[in-house]
Structure 1
């Protein structure tokens, strides 16, 4: 039969257990205090009963100042209302909850945190809330900066004077600006997010690769359908292309397409701008047609050259067959020139010089 331990032995054992508990508590405190995330424990009345160093540093308060306090003692009412609402949700449902929250730190800067709260049931304290908050302020700022940048880029594309289309790497339309809406007759709401070459239908009457696709995946068969296409530093330039589906008689346009890259240098899509050059192309065609007609006319012009036998009295010309012909008829036949008839001042004077109406006329020639 074992003997009962003495009071001295019991006291020693209690002291050893206290030291062991203190060591373990210190060990866990060291772990929690070296975690950069904000860790807190609240009782059912929302009072803090444990806070790690990161939590205290974020609020610029000592642990002694915060223990036993609530959110309303530290934060603004608007912020504390949100904290309590999420605390009550966890207390009432017993389920963990994750949500974004904001608070004002020790420097007066508004911070955004992602907080996860869960319930732990303690026999002594009852329900307690255990929470950990991860600061995502910089992440949110980066996301906002990216969103602002994308919005500015979208605004720039939207108001470009040239019709512009952007597709992602999967060939889905992600931008379709106002000028493109006007040219194609397709509203962006009807085309955004669509793939399978849907953006080519307004131009070609069927889904098929266009310049924006060729910059991502070259296809010589389709490239031949452009009147002129060349590549410069990875971008494709089509000087002239014809669309029979646009306008009454079709439209001519020139386009430029290039790849789009992300920050890692990976291709994420392509962009194409087109410009309607129908008026210029029609003018070129009219000019070429006129030049051709003039060249044909010049080729058919029969020139007068050599010596012409002409009557010194009546001014008739003898042709190569011996017939005498009026000079105007001869020239017209050989030079395709029309004549109008009138009197020169000398002849008019000889014919009508003695007539009173002729002497009194107002359109006398200057001497």
Structure 2
């Protein structure tokens, strides 16, 4: 016959259990996450101190309350389907958002673990993690990305990221549009980019990429491309590498811009400058005091020789002459000739 435990032993065991439960509850109160237990009747059996921080309710007062009484009708409607699923024995894990009593939004990650005894669900343990700051930061990143993309698109700048390990690339829509595609292609590689580069420019582009990766410097170049529609355009691309822990390049990130109009303007300006330079070289300066004969109008050069006016100007400026005769000189030379007088009469000069 087994010996029954004494009253003192039972009292000691109860005290140990109460002490272990108190330790467990104190441990849960130290967690920043909201931890609670909801029984089969959909009532709280326990809630740690984080509930006081978020819902302004004393953890000791949470026992016996329905989640609707703490969350409010609108918030409870969002989580109720997951509560019902957990009480039916289905583990739940999801993300959602509700408004706290102070009106501030709470973004959270919830994990419900059903508590089963002999195949029957007695309740579930709920662990709620506050991810509000994470979601706010993600939203800031999305907004910054939208603003950056808008700025890039406004400046007609395409964005790209080249994976040097997987040999794939991410691009913005403007990138592919520069190459003549209305929508983003399903894939893009460095080899596909080179196919668009004019044959004569490919060695330069490839060489500059090798230099940028080898010397850890910026990949910066201008080249001609052939668009999908066959049009030849000029582009300007810049990119910098991203390295791994061993300082080996694994990615290139950069921008691309269509600079055809700028190159055309530069070429036109260069042609004008070349034409001016050629004109300046052809013109031999005529300046200073030029010694000229008062009678015959010959000009003395710097060697003391007298030259006809036409010869001197042609020699020093590159200009050429076509000879004719002014009316006064014509009258002086041919005024006494009948044929000349008849010609002037026909022209109505007399």
Normalising by the residue count of structure 1, what TM-score does the alignment of the two structures yield? 0.66
The verdict on how the C-alpha distance between 1:357 and 1:18 changes in structure 2, with shifts beyond 3 A counting, is: same
Does 2:259 match 1:259? no
Aligned to 1:33: 29
CA drift at 1:256 = 4.9
Aligned to 2:143: 148
Match of 2:198 among 201, 204, 218: 204
Cα pair 1:60 1:105 within 8 Å, conserved = no
The verdict on how the C-alpha distance between 1:215 and 1:73 changes in structure 2, with shifts beyond 3 A counting, is: farther
Cα pair 1:167 1:270 within 8 Å, conserved = yes
The CA distance in 2 between the partners of 1:244 and 1:27, in whole Å, is 72
Q: Helix, strand or coil for the counterpart of 1:25?
A: helix
Aligned to 1:75: 71
Aligned to 2:268: 283
CA drift at 1:244 = 6.4
Aligned to 1:118: 113
The CA distance in 2 between the partners of 1:212 and 1:97, in whole Å, is 54
The CA distance in 2 between the partners of 1:260 and 1:91, in whole Å, is 53
**Counterpart mapping for 1:1-367 below 5 A:** 10-92=6-88, 94-105=89-100, 107-122=102-117, 127-161=122-156, 163-170=157-164, 172-176=168-172, 178=174, 180-181=175-176, 183-190=178-185, 193-204=187-198, 210=206, 213-214=209-210, 216-218=212-214, 234-238=217-221, 241-243=222-224, 245=226, 250-252=232-234, 255-259=236-240, 268-274=251-257, 275-276=259-260, 277-283=262-268, 286-287=271-272, 290=275, 337=320, 339=322, 341-345=324-328, 347-348=330-331, 351=335
CA drift at 1:294 = 6.2
The CA distance in 2 between the partners of 1:270 and 1:119, in whole Å, is 47
Stretches of 4+ aligned residues off by more than 6 angstroms? 205-208, 291-299, 352-359, 361-364
The CA distance in 1 between the partners of 2:113 and 2:240, in whole Å, is 48
The CA distance in 1 between the partners of 2:240 and 2:46, in whole Å, is 55
| Structure 2: unaligned runs, 5 residues or longer | 285-295, 297-309
| Cα deviation digits, residues 39-93 of structure 1 (max 9, x gap) | 111122321111112223321111343221222212232310122110112223x
The CA distance in 2 between the partners of 1:63 and 1:336, in whole Å, is 105
Q: Helix, strand or coil for the counterpart of 2:213?
A: coil
The verdict on how the C-alpha distance between 1:168 and 1:149 changes in structure 2, with shifts beyond 3 A counting, is: farther
CA drift at 1:189 = 0.9
The CA distance in 1 between the partners of 2:45 and 2:208, in whole Å, is 62
CA drift at 1:147 = 1.9
The CA distance in 2 between the partners of 1:85 and 1:196, in whole Å, is 49
**Which range is displaced more, 164-173 or 33-42?**
164-173
Cα pair 1:352 1:358 within 8 Å, conserved = no
Q: Helix, strand or coil for the counterpart of 1:141?
A: helix
| Cα deviation digits, residues 86-122 of structure 1 (max 9, x gap) | 0112223x23110113233454321111111021124
Q: How many residues align?
A: 308
Cα pair 1:197 1:207 within 8 Å, conserved = no
| Cα deviation digits, residues 12-40 of structure 1 (max 9, x gap) | 33322221221121122122222221111
| Structure 1: unaligned runs, 5 residues or longer | 220-232, 300-311, 313-327
Normalising by the residue count of structure 2, what TM-score does the alignment of the two structures yield? 0.68
| Cα deviation digits, residues 222-272 of structure 1 (max 9, x gap) | xxxxxxxxxxx943444xx4526369795555x35131669x9x8753213
